Amino acid sequence: MEENLSRIVEGIYEKSYAVIDDFVDEIFRKALFDEQTDLLESGKFRKAAVGTGEQKQIRPEIRSDEVLWMEAQNLSLLQSEYWKRVEEIRLALNRRCFLGLQSFEAHFARYPIGSFYKRHLDQFQQVPYRAVTVILYVNDAWTEADEGALRMYLPMEDDKEEVLDLLPLPGRLVVFLSGEIPHEVLPTKKERNSITGWLRTIP
């Protein structure tokens, strides 16, 4: 874990993102996946919205995933185990990068076959407090042919961008600065399951 933490902070410090394969082991990954599947079957997932407050809308042409927010005060045992891991990331980022991160929010996400999330930034006017995006993929094995990559647009000099595609490999963690890296989820050919969260600069 210590090594993962230093790779995360170095990545964020140097290039605004980090990718850690096998951040969780197979047993933990599968347990999270099973929990997500149970919650799905009990019908608790909702179509994801874009915007917040009065601007909140279901816009299937922008994103077509389904989400279930975790309740910080009411986490399952497994969820709190994951939050503990993220807490270590929060503290390490504050120590090394002085990001002033105070809290975490997260939801399970399910991308059914054919779904996607068009290019966007996670930090915008209504949610300026989202500072660091933390995504863990909990679906089973994934191959190139399943598509559904997370496509990141890395800002380069002279307003140029470099494209980086990351497959949702089971147990893979992707961390990036929410206000710096536009990204999208390309249409997926297989159900894609993740926990997406944000470290925030508010309590």
Ligand X SMILES: O=C(O)CCC(=O)C(=O)O
Say whether residue 122 binds Fe ion (CB under 5 A): yes
Which of 135, 142, 132, 139 shows the shortest CA–CA distance to 111? 139
Q: Print the binding letters for residues 166-195 with ligand X: x by CB under 6 A, - otherwise.
A: -----------------x-x--------x-
Out of ligand X, Fe ion, none, what residue 185 binds, judged by CB under 5 to 8 A for its kind, is ligand X
Q: Print the binding letters for residues 126-165 with ligand X: x by CB under 6 A, - otherwise.
A: ---------x--------------x---------------
Q: Please identify which residue in the block is written with the tokens 């990718």.
A: 19
Phi, psi of 16 (to 5 degrees): 70, 5
Between the CA atoms of 19, 21, 115 and 12, what dihedral angle is there, to the nearest 10 degrees?
A: -10
Is 28 in a helix, a strand, or coil?
helix
Binder to ligand X among 36, 122, 142, 199 (CB under 6 A)?
Answer: 122
Say which amino acid occupies 110: R
CB 178 within 8 Å of CB 13: no
CB 180 within 8 Å of CB 122: no
Q: Which of residues 47-86 bind Fe ion (CB under 5 A)?
A: none
Closest to Fe ion by CB, 31 vs 122, is 122
- Least CB distance to ligand X at residue 62 (A): 11
How far apart are alpha carbons 110 and 28 in whole angstroms? 18
- Least CB distance to Fe ion at residue 35 (A): 22
Closest to ligand X by CB, 96 vs 166, is 166
- Catalog residues that contact ligand X under the rule CB under 6 A: 109, 117, 122, 135, 150, 183, 185, 194, 196
